[in-house]
Amino acid sequence: MPISPLEARLSHHLDLTFSEREAIRWLERRERSFRARDIIIHEGEATDCLYIVASGWLHGSTVLKDGDRQILRFYFVGDITTTFSIAWGRSAATLQAVSDVTLYEIPKDVFGRIFRSHPRIGALLFAIATSEQVAMADRLTSVSKTDGFTRIATLLLDIRSRLRVVDGLRGSSFELPLTQKDLGDALGLTKTHVNRSLKALEATGLVERDGRVIRILDIDRLAALVDFRDRHQEIAVDWLPPVGAADMPQVAMT
């Protein structure tokens, strides 16, 4: 049986048990497909579901007061989307397909059972969510304090790192289905500035573009140039509860 998207994501950090793998696959039962640019859920819309990305790319965005769009984050295979809405029952952002996508739909109450029956998985999901929040803070710092060249380079390095977690991307090439407007809306840049920054990146000899394919020719040099820190490859798991913790007696904290 092929590995499931979320299983691949979590297995990068933890040697999952058979029971844990089965529990993850149990989540991936309700499949839905969308075309590129389809809206899965609108900002402010009531929702009681999350989605695991089985294939394709998506982004979450919000509309600013002046009508402009701010892309908050991108989603790739193995990611869980709409977690930004889990606390309120209404979506805090608009979830839109960047490419054709396949999603597994999970009711929130079903997702909650994982935390009760497999707390080790729940703890790992929390750790991953925390690492993603730090990565988002890095991007916020980049947007507010750096030039277009650094913002674009940092985003490309971050995307490559996230893709490696699930698909084992060993090289430096990946397809980028994002438009220049998408990049600009994620980084606070105009399309003209995005185009200029991409050309400046290519001029360094560190990045090549071939249509939608991006090649980072020297990852270490580019990362050092823009002070990029990889938040996705390594996550501490030594603090996670042991296997079978759900059946263990509760210990009072002093």
Task: Convert the pLDDT of each residue in 219-238 to its tens digit.
Answer: 999 999 999 999 999 999 99
Rounded to an integer, what is the distance from CA 144 to the centroid of its chain? 21
Which pair of structure tokens corresponds to residue 211? Answer: 């249509």
Rounded to an integer, what is the distance from CA 36 to the centroid of its chain? 18
138 in any annotated domain: yes
At residue 184, does pLDDT exceed 50?
yes
Give the C-alpha separation, 16 to 22, whole Å.
10
For the whole prediction, is pTM greater than 0.85? yes
Q: Which domain holds residue 111?
A: 5-241
Which of 150 and 254 is assigned the larger pLDDT?
A: 150
**Which helix (H) or strand (E) is 207 found in, with range?**
strand 207-210
At residue 96, does pLDDT exceed 60?
yes
Residues 6+ apart with CB under 8 A from 143: 151, 187, 188
3-state DSSP call for residue 39? Answer: strand
Which pair of structure tokens corresponds to residue 129? Answer: 């969510």
251 in any annotated domain: no
Number of folded domains in the chain?
A: 1
82 in any annotated domain: yes
Give the C-alpha separation, 148 to 196, whole Å.
8
249 in any annotated domain: no
Contact by Cβ (8 Å): 97, 37: yes
195 in any annotated domain: yes
Instruction: List, for residues 8-33, the tens digit of each pLDDT value.
Output: 999 999 999 999 999 999 999 999 99
Over residues 64-77, the mean pLDDT reads 93
Assign residue 22 the CATH number of its domain: 2.60.120.10
253 in any annotated domain: no
Helix and strand totals (H; E) in the chain: 8, 11
pLDDT band, residue 162 (cuts 50/70/90): very high
Over residues 186-215, the mean pLDDT reads 95
3-state DSSP call for residue 248? Answer: coil
pLDDT band, residue 249 (cuts 50/70/90): very low
179 in any annotated domain: yes
Whole-number pLDDT of residue 144: 86
At residue 94, does pLDDT exceed 60?
yes
93 in any annotated domain: yes
Whole-number pLDDT of residue 84: 75
Whole-number pLDDT of residue 251: 44
Q: Which residues of 224-249 are buried (b: 16+ CB within 10 A; e: fewer)?
A: eebebebbbeebeeeebeeeeeeeee
Give the C-alpha separation, 37 to 127, whole Å.
30
For a pLDDT cut of 70, what percent of the chain falls above it? 94
Whole-number pLDDT of residue 171: 62
